[in-house]
Every structure is written in structure tokens, then in C-alpha cells.
Amino acid sequence: MLMLDRKASRKVPDLVIWVFLPASDIPSFVGKGNVDIGITGHDVILEAEMQQYVTEELRLGFGKCALQVQVPEASSIKTVEDLAGKRVVTSFEVVAGQYFNKIDERLGLQDDQRTKIEYVGGSVEAACSLGLADGIVDLVESGETMRAAGLHAISTVLDTEAVLIRSSTTKHPHLTPIIELITKRIAGVIAANKYVLVEYNVHKDVLKKATEITPGRRAATISRLEETDWFAVSAMVEKNKSAKVMDDLVKAGAEDILLFHVGNCRV
């Protein structure tokens, strides 16, 4: 997590310090403490109920996983409605409780019939086989641990990933320019990893069709060439779609198609 130090120095008026804390603590330190900016998971913010205290500045594109409701594969429970009113173990007590409260209310379950949420800090996936739960709510990345425990997912509570957060309240106004600079630089690196730059030449008759294929992140850059009725086009396209984009441009009639990897950028 990033923390901006308030201590003054003659040569360096503001210091940027890395502070490493448990992910579950970071939203609280940023939202209520003396810390301005940090990195944590979207799921952690919701579990800590810190949505009103922190602002998600950027989704960082790593640490992606899903918080899912899981039950034993051999179980007769097939839907979350089947699990409602039974025992659920999780380390996400707040999020899971809110999720099942809505289901319990929709099903009209009385207080003594409602889903029982129990907190376990670790080895959540073992709760069903050890007789502690009928189902669990846990994070799933590849699914290997879930399958090894004989479980399968029946519902997704939320999708999550690492996010850059800042305090919703400005604590140190003199540090705002540094915070914004750091945010823009991180955003530039994320965009550079996500996009590539495609450039090509195209005749005016197919210019509209070609730019529909490459609309750009905001808009394509179009320049008129010296040769009559021909244009040069450059646009950012998503890296994982670049091969298909080039194929589609060829079919549309574009020529001299070039692809450039972006080392860094500002967006």
C-alpha cells in the first residue's frame, strides 16, 4: 500500500513510502486513518463496509477471482434457494450475510428459519466435509482447490480484482498533486498492458467501415494522405482482440496494416 508521508524535508518536501499491511486492513487505514492511497481487493472494501470512506480510482487488472457459493458435488443442494435456511461457512461474513439476507427475505423465511452464517478465517473449503456447513462462500481463482475439496459453484456473489483506492475525504491537500500523478502513471501502465496501437492506410470508400472496426479507445486518429482519396488511420485496440481486428481490416480493404506495442502511455 502507498502512504504519503507528511514530514517535511529541505530537499524532498513530500516522501512516498510503501507500507505493507494485511489486505483486509488497507481500506480502514485509507478510509479512516492517516493514509491517502492504497491497493486492495474490491471484495475487501465491501467486507470492511468502507464504500463511503474510500473511492475506487482504478481497477488494476490483476488478482481477478470470483466470490462464489459452493456446495458438495454429491449434495442435493442445486441452487442458492435450496441452501437458504441452512448452514453457510465463510471468511466473508458481511458480504455473505447481505447476500443471503436478500434470498431469505425473498423466500419469506422467519428469523428461526434464516440462513446461518458462520465465520471461519481459514480452510473454508473443508467446512462441508468436516460437518460444519452445508455450503460455503469463498473466493475462486482457478477452481482447483474447490474441485479438490469435492465442491462446485452454484452461484457467484461478486467478481473482484485488485483496485487502487484513495480516501473519499481529502486529508492532506498539499499531497493532492502527487496522488493524482501516481494515479495517472499507474493508469498509463495499465492501459499500455491492455492496448496496442494499430495503424493502416485506407481508401475513402471503405474509411467508415474500417473505423467501425477500430473506433479507438475514445476515437481513431485520421490523417489525409498526399495520394488522393486515401487516409492514414491509427487507433488503440485491445491487445487480446488485435489479431481479429487486423483480419477484419484486411477484409474491409485496409492496406499497410501495422501493429505497435505500447511501452507506456497517458490516458
Question: Mean pLDDT of successive 10-residue segments in the chain (267 residues)?
Answer: 45 52 85 90 94 94 94 94 96 96 94 94 92 95 92 96 93 89 92 94 96 94 93 96 96 96 88
Q: Is 105 exposed, middle or buried (0-12, 13-18, 19+ CB in 10 A)?
A: exposed
Distance (Å, rounded) from C-alpha 114 to C-alpha 196? 51
Give the pLDDT confidence of 71-119 residue by residue, as tens digits: 999 999 999 999 999 999 999 999 999 999 999 999 999 988 999 999 9
Give the pLDDT confidence of 38-67 residue by residue, as tens digits: 999 999 999 999 999 999 999 998 899 999
Q: Is 195 exposed, middle or buried (0-12, 13-18, 19+ CB in 10 A)?
A: buried
Q: What is the pTM of this model?
A: 0.77
Domains defined along the chain, listed by start: 2-61+162-171 (3.40.190.10), 65-159 (3.40.190.10), 194-261 (3.30.70.120)
